[in-house]
Amino acid sequence: MENIKKIPVILDGDPGHDDAIAWVVAKASPLLDIRAVTTVCGNQTLEKTTYNARRICTLIGLEAPIAKGRPRPLFTDPMVAPNVHGQTGLDGPVLPEPKMEVQDISAVELMARTLQESDQKITLIPTGPLTTIASLLLTHPELKDKIAHIYMMGGGIAYGNWTPAAEFNILVDPEAADIVFNSGLPITMAGLDVTEKALVFPEDFARVKAVGNKVAEVVSEWLEFFYIFHKNKGYTGAPVHDAVAVAALIKPEIMQFRDLHVDIETHGEFCKGTTVGDVFGVTGKEPNARVILGIDREAFVELIIDSVKAYGEDA
Ligand code: RIB
Ligand code: CA
């Protein structure tokens, strides 16, 4: 088999059950070379998302350097989601104590060092608020041309999930999102338009568990826990939002995309944090994002199952 030229990536997130599953999928992919992992406050405090990141990396054997982001959004107060992800941010299965230590540099400096040292452009995969990515762009503008693409989970052209208009990741740090969406960098946006269709049904949880290794067991229990909040809201499955951002990079053929101009509302009583997509081209502005609008749900579930299979029998 010819040597696949791997895509160098940096994972940035607020684990978070769906961030965790996204990282399981990313680590399992033969297409990706994970150069670094960085954390951001979002689903839970920075301390908790960082501890979770270390435990996830230990579970999946991901030995990339880990660094902490900012303890709060650029201008607003932190906003956590214990109602969705629990007090730890990753409630449910017992996880191994972390073997990976946190680097003694910030997430931005780890990202900057990784970009500087790479002989290839690097793809960033943020699955939480965009605080770290925006901070990188503000403090290291000279490294923008080392960023190949940003595959992010966040926003929603049609609706929000934390307010009627705004999705959680964007709402937590709308100024950061505004900086990223106006950066001129290629962006693929996995917003609620697609992630609400990326449902993993309870019968799928059992298929994941049946793979029979440790990672499969943990992922099935993450799905079970993540489904609790959504079932109570009337969902028929767990929307594994963040894994769609990774899937868009490694399996784009199962999705439908549309280039749109997206502005970020950073003010407003009702609409702060909205990703305003120019669906009818009325602004005349050039598209700045490739927005994912559809997904083959079954193929997405198969990707998650195939990913946990990659961890073998004794993982
Ligand atoms: O709105 C869903 C997003 O918010 C996901 O990234 C989830 O992990 C939370 O961060
Ligand atoms: Ca997330």
Which CATH number fits the domain that encloses residue 18?
3.90.245.10
Flag whether pLDDT at 1 surpasses 80: no
Residue 149 lies in a domain: yes
Instruction: Residue 172: give the domain boundaries.
Output: 7-309
Q: What is the C-alpha to C-alpha distance for residues 309 and 140, in angstroms, rounded to an integer?
A: 39
At 206, the pLDDT band (50, 70, 90 cuts) reads: very high
Amino acid at 222: W
Residue 245 lies in a domain: yes
Cα-Cα-Cα-Cα dihedral sign, residues 268, 180, 71, 16: positive
Centroid of ligand 2 to alpha carbon of 127 (angstroms): 4
Amino acid at 187: I
At 314, the pLDDT band (50, 70, 90 cuts) reads: low
Amino acid at 34: I
Residue 36 lies in a domain: yes
Which of 242, 244, 275, 292 for a ligand 1 pocket mutation test, highest count of atoms within 8 Å of Cβ?
Answer: 242
Mean pLDDT of 203-218: 98
Residue 315 lies in a domain: no
Q: Please indicate, yes or no, whether the overall pTM of this predicted structure exceeds 0.85.
A: yes
Q: Which of 41, 67, 44 is nearest to 54 (CA)?
A: 67
Cβ neighbours around 87 below 10 Å, total: 10
Centroid of ligand 1 to alpha carbon of 154 (angstroms): 7
Flag whether pLDDT at 315 surpasses 60: no
Task: Give the total number of structural domains in the chain.
Answer: 1
Residue whose tokens read 């406050």: 41
Q: Which of 47, 21, 76, 42 is nearest to 303 (CA)?
A: 21
* 63-101 pLDDT per residue, tens: 999 999 999 999 999 999 899 999 999 999 999 899 989
Ligand in closest contact with the CA of 155: 1
Ligand in closest contact with the CA of 167: 1
Residue 190 lies in a domain: yes
Question: Ligand 1 atom 1: the closest Cα is on which residue?
Answer: 168
Q: Which residues line ligand 1 (CB under 6 A)?
A: 14, 16, 18-19, 42-43, 127-128, 153, 161, 167-169, 241-242
- Token representation of residue 221: 């229990």
| Ligand 1 atom at shortest distance from the alpha carbon of 161 | 1
Flag whether pLDDT at 3 surpasses 80: no
Ligand in closest contact with the CA of 159: 1
Residue 38 lies in a domain: yes
Which positions are catalytic? 241
Residue 302 lies in a domain: yes
* Per-chain residues with Cβ under 5 A from ion ligand 2: 14, 16, 19, 127-128, 242
Flag whether pLDDT at 272 surpasses 60: yes
| Residue 258 Cα distances to 125, 290, 291, angstroms | 19, 6, 5
